[in-house]
Structure 1
Amino acid sequence: MPLDPRSEPARTGEGRPPGLPPGRVEQLRARLRGRLVRPGDADYEEHCRVYNAMIHKRPALIARCADVADVLAAVEFAREQGLMLAVRGGGHNGAGLGTCDGGLVVDLSLMRGVRVAPESGTVRVAGGSVWGEVDHATHAFGLAVPSGIISTTGVGGLTLGGGLGHLSRRYGLTIDSLLAVDMVLADGRFVTANAQQHPDLFWAVRGGGGNFGVATSFLFQAHPVDTILGGPTLWPLERAEEVMRWYREFIPTAPETLTGFFAFLVVPPAAPFPPHLHLQKMCAVVWCYTGDPAQADALFAPVRAMAPALDGVQTMPYPALQTMFDALYPPGLQWYWRADFVRELGDEAISRHVAFAHRLPTMHSTMHLYPIDGAAHRAAPGDTAFSFRDARWAEVIVGVDPSPDKAGDITTWTKDYWNALHPYSAGGAYVNFLMEEGQERVQATYQDNYARLVEVKDRYDPNNLFRVNQNIRPSTGTPLRH
């Protein structure tokens, strides 16, 4: 159930946005069951903050929506006033595309709730929920919905971009388990998009991001997942080339019940890592096995034959794996990331990876390779807006640090690393890992699907109200003023 918005702090000060009719702002405030946060309110700065502390934007209004009626009112207001509109769910977007300067933020974080139907295995999730809430609810029934690797990630943003994580090889992307989505459209309509209703919109939202409306609710098909075998195996960085070559051969031939993403990292100085490994630069594979426990020893025998310096693989509830990295990446860190899809992991690319791994600039900085095969390959590139179904990995290079003083260092390292590896990539990137990198990168991400996405955009948002995103630009309509 949504939090009671009346329990929030009372507004102080007038905080009336300049250039907006005072009467209309008051009308919007009165229509909301949630709250309208304005400059001058005691908690305005708090609600301006997003997950990536490198992003600092100051919206004119923040509508903390409590229900669909609030979202309808906020979208109507932005459309009528010609305001830039940003939509914030969990707030993890690295590029900060859940906020904007001088516009209206539709904040869904009060719209939380998960309902599991154990008979059908379906899960209804409110648009402001985070994945940890879904995992908690579904685990009670021995179920899970494929998602990412950090439980504080928002359901909406991850889903609309595709959804890569621990269960991708077994059950596909998050969008492959999406049955329906409820949306508020730019023209004020409230619709359900699924295979029967608005099928063009349903196709587009499965990977096309927040370009087509505000997703207020999702319906997923969950899958049997309960206790798993998971955790990290670590090797010294001096063995990284050897381990990467072994990994590129092992993962594609492994059963779909086993996945593991490769990483470069600096070992955190905390449990469960032993003190002699603290702050060492290492390479790792983080595993998740959802198959028959009786086959686990044989399956992990090649892993253990690689003699890891740390074998952290153990039996655990699936939500424990999902929360393993939450404490390492709390809100408020500086983030800069760049990404690509990868079809082949050749020897020269591996050598370049290892060279930049030796230059990891901070303890939180990393590089991940997420496998895209198994069940994720069963859909064709044109079946959903997510088009890189033939890729083998999604690569993301991540510069992270708590201190703003390190922002330049982590950004430079990330860009240099990406520039060195991009020639070996498939050309596009997972949309959820893009910064604001320009229209050419957006089009490369959708390949041949981009033209069809423009057609859907023309139909549902011809004036580009929903443009604070990796934008699909309409070919028709009159652009809204900022």
Structure 2
Amino acid sequence: MATSLDEKQSSLKTFLESHPGIKYIPPNGPDFSSLSALYVCSSPTTPLAVVRPQTADHVAALVSFCTAHAIQFTVRTGGKNIFGLSSVQDALMIDMRDMDSIQIDKSKSSVTVGGGILQAKLAGALAKEGLVTPSGSLGFVGLVGWSTYGGYGPLASHYGLGLDNILGAKVVNAEGEVVVADKELLKCIRGAGGAFGVIVELTVKVYPLNHLLGGMIIFDSQDLIPAYEKFNAGYQTLLENGAIPLELDVQQFIVNTPQGKALAVAVVWSSDDHEAGRACLAKIEALGVVVMNTVESQTLAQYVEIMMSAIPPVAYGSCRTINVRKWTKETSQILSRGIHRMPSLFGTAFSLHELRGPSAAPNPDSVFATREPHFMLEFISLVNKEEDVKESEEWGASLRNEILQKDPENVLPGTYISLTPPGDVPLSKIYGPDANYQNLLDLKKKHDPQNVFNLAVPKLLES
């Protein structure tokens, strides 16, 4: 017999009476709206309640309770998932953000963090020791979710993806036990994240780096399409000539500004040799007419804070991505046309990520499949007005589909799961080839045969 919502609430309250250390925020609580709020507001949901465990044992008790009482639950490590997947209607939200401990090992080669650590806090703590670990560009993102599903970011070409830097993990498994992940479970975590358990602790590599060079370069965009095409032609030449070291990350954007559409480039030089960095950056600056340059010496913590300040606290909409092997003439022409018709809506944008060096090298100890040099094209529809969502998303979908249709041989089968709408691309393609995907399914059946973590990404088994 199905359990009613009131019965679930009642059993949860009874459970929490014997676990007073777990913070409880019911739907009628004064802080519920703010603590359950997500970055994207397009599909608002009301979870059963929000609980904030303080220890791994708290998480284990919650998983056991939910399993015993047939209560669905989600796990929130940061809450910045583009598709709002950490909140499901009437499911219990296990909010990990109070579990944000940081412990740097004595050799300063790794750091062990709690499952709810945000990237800004970790970057700040590491900066005090002259250290970094790969992260995304936005400090409000949870490290665990970012890294275990891939972990693209401005240090990836130098140090590898986020998942490449995972050394160990402590997990609450489907039986509600706190376990240290073995080699097999770690392989699953590196690419399939929380589908195999709640990650309550993660150990990742760290690297010595006091200050990077980072910031935005804005180019004269009065004639945007020619400026964009000139930049990319020049950049491809630099790549082909080996003039872009792995220490330099270049991420292009076409964004809407009060003055119109603009070509903006986020650059990060991840080495303390700033003289060499300035020389490399001069080659990037020479690819157009620079109207603004904010690049300066700073810590990674400062960089992610600055980048975060440029992002609105909430948005409506979503993103779509596609991976292409090379920067072909056909792809360039399609994108030029797409940029020309990009809606002039704040939050509508196009971004280009590049995977090369260690970020594009095979990693047999992970289930992440897209391990070859490629460009990830990101069509961003994260607008600040709900009425603008439809136009922005239709533009992104149309442009993505045009590349699929007109340059199919250049398109990789898989996409980046963190930026792919659920169901938009088959998991067999994201985690392919077929033998790898089947192995992932077999491991899911072994570690979570009852599909306890059925609301986690990816959804490998039917509920």
TM-score, length basis structure 1: 0.87
1:294 aligns with 2:278: no
Match of 1:431 in 2: 417
> What letter is aligned with 2:275?
A
Distance 1:366 1:164 in 2: 18
Q: Which runs of 5+ in 1 are unaligned?
A: 1-15, 268-277
| 1:209 counterpart SS class | helix
Q: Which runs of 5+ in 2 are unaligned?
A: none
Q: 1:17–1:61: 8 Å Cα contact kept in structure 2? A: no
Q: Deviations over 1:456-477 (max 9, x none)?
A: 1111111222122332424xxx
CA displacement at 1:18 relative to structure 2: 2.3
Match of 1:45 in 2: 33
Match of 1:369 in 2: 352
CA displacement at 1:387 relative to structure 2: 1.2
CA displacement at 1:433 relative to structure 2: 0.8
Match of 1:331 in 2: 313
Match of 1:222 in 2: 206
1:258 aligns with 2:248: yes
| 2:5 counterpart SS class | coil
Distance 1:120 1:301 in 2: 33
Distance 2:321 2:17 in 1: 40
Q: 1:454–1:472: 8 Å Cα contact kept in structure 2? A: no
- Residue 232 of structure 1: which of 184, 199, 216 is its match? 216
Query: Aligned in 2, Cα 1:251/1:210: closer, same or farther, shift over 3 Å?
Result: farther
CA displacement at 1:217 relative to structure 2: 1.0
1:306 aligns with 2:287: yes
CA displacement at 1:123 relative to structure 2: 0.9
| 2:317 counterpart SS class | strand
Match of 2:127 in 1: 139
Q: Deviations over 1:356-406 (max 9, x none)?
A: 2231442222222111111213334x4311111114122221112222222
Distance 1:422 1:38 in 2: 46
1:11-22 correspondence runs (5 A)? 17-20=5-8, 22=10
CA displacement at 1:115 relative to structure 2: 2.1
Q: How many positions carry a matched residue from both structures?
A: 445
Q: Calculate percent identity across the aligned residue pairs.
A: 22
Query: Aligned in 2, Cα 1:214/1:304: closer, same or farther, shift over 3 Å?
Result: same
- Residue 284 of structure 1: which of 264, 269, 273 is its match? 264
- Residue 357 of structure 1: which of 320, 324, 339 is its match? 339
Query: Aligned in 2, Cα 1:209/1:420: closer, same or farther, shift over 3 Å?
Result: farther
Distance 1:113 1:102 in 2: 29
Q: Deviations over 1:298-343 (max 9, x none)?
A: 3233223223333333322222222222122243211311112221
Q: Quick check: 281-290 or 415-424, which moved more?
A: 415-424
Q: 1:29–1:36: 8 Å Cα contact kept in structure 2? A: no
Q: 2:230–2:288: 8 Å Cα contact kept in structure 1? A: no
Query: Aligned in 2, Cα 1:73/1:299: closer, same or farther, shift over 3 Å?
Result: same
CA displacement at 1:202 relative to structure 2: 0.3
Match of 1:316 in 2: 298
> What letter is aligned with 2:385?
S
Distance 2:43 2:106 in 1: 40
1:201-220 correspondence runs (5 A)? 201-220=185-204
Distance 1:427 1:360 in 2: 28
> What letter is aligned with 2:375?
W
CA displacement at 1:251 relative to structure 2: 4.1
Q: 1:112–1:129: 8 Å Cα contact kept in structure 2? A: yes
Query: Aligned in 2, Cα 1:66/1:279: closer, same or farther, shift over 3 Å?
Result: farther
Match of 1:461 in 2: 448
